[in-house]
Amino acid sequence: MARYSLPDLPYDYDALEPHIDEQTMRLHHDKHHQGYVDGANAALDALESARDSGDYGTVKKLSRDLAFNASGHLLHSVFWPNMAPESETGEPGRRLASQLEDDFGGVEKFKDHFSAAAKGVEGSGWGILAWEPEGEQLLVLQAEKHQNLTAQGVTPILVLDVWEHAYYLNYQNNRGQYVDNWWNVVNWNDVSERLRKARG
């Protein structure tokens, strides 16, 4: 059975300054993301033991642990490459720009919608732009924690972590300023490539 491992950041810890500070990135990647990797693997190990013993008494807890930690790992694994140093962020590619026009009325309207969704997450969670293959469209979603409020079957292509651990050292309680500044480090090249892969 496969287990998860922590991916390296695709840039230095201080590469997103001044918008996201080095200390936040170190703690966020090395401690928080590692914790989700470890939690997901622990749940997988325990579920394997349950299959071996036939004792499924904790399957409800373990399934919940797996959903929380695996979702946390997978979202952070999209989040890091979704960002880049400010000088390397590029612009939305032609297909991405066209899709944002079709589904949101343009890039600026999409950004306003996404920002509002991210700022409005109740408690810890994420703003998510996802490809929805049945309707062949992009959806803006919120996630609470990592796993709640999603639409099943979608592929996240741009995600924004709005847990306090993502911004509190630099922005304190001002999530809105963090969200507004975050757009400066969105790696449009990566988002465009993720849409291309998701659409197949």
**Site for Mn ion, rule CB under 5 A:** 161, 163
Which is closer to Mn ion, CB of 104 or CB of 163?
163
Residue 79 CB, shortest distance to Mn ion, in Å, is 7
Q: Which is nearer to Mn ion, 143 or 154 (CB)?
A: 143
**Phi–psi pair at 130, nearest 5 degrees:** -135, 145
In whole angstroms, the minimum distance from the beta carbon of 74 to Mn ion comes to 12
Nearer to Mn ion, 49 or 148 (CB): 148
Q: How far is the CB of 28 from Mn ion (least distance, A)?
A: 6
- C-alpha dist (Å) from residue 62 to 1, 59, 72, 73, 119: 16, 5, 15, 16, 31
Q: What is the smallest separation between the CB atom of 51 and Mn ion, expressed in angstroms?
A: 30
Cβ proximity to Mn ion, 131 vs 163, nearer residue: 163
**Eight-state DSSP code of residue 150:** P
- Our separate counts of H helices and E strands in the chain read 8, 3
When the beta carbons of 110 and 163 are compared against Mn ion, the nearer one is 163
Gyration radius from the chain CA atoms: 17
User: Whole-number minimum distance, CB 102 to Mn ion, in Å?
Assistant: 31
Q: What are phi and psi of 34, to 5 degrees?
A: -55, -40
CA-nearest of 14, 68, 8, 78 to 38 is: 68
Measured CA distances, 92 to 140, 190, 198 (Å): 16, 9, 16
Angle at 101 between CA 98 and CA 103, to 5 degrees: 110
Closest separation between CB of residue 166 and Mn ion, Å? 5
Residue nearest to Mn ion (CB): 161
| Nearer Cβ to Mn ion (163/188) | 163
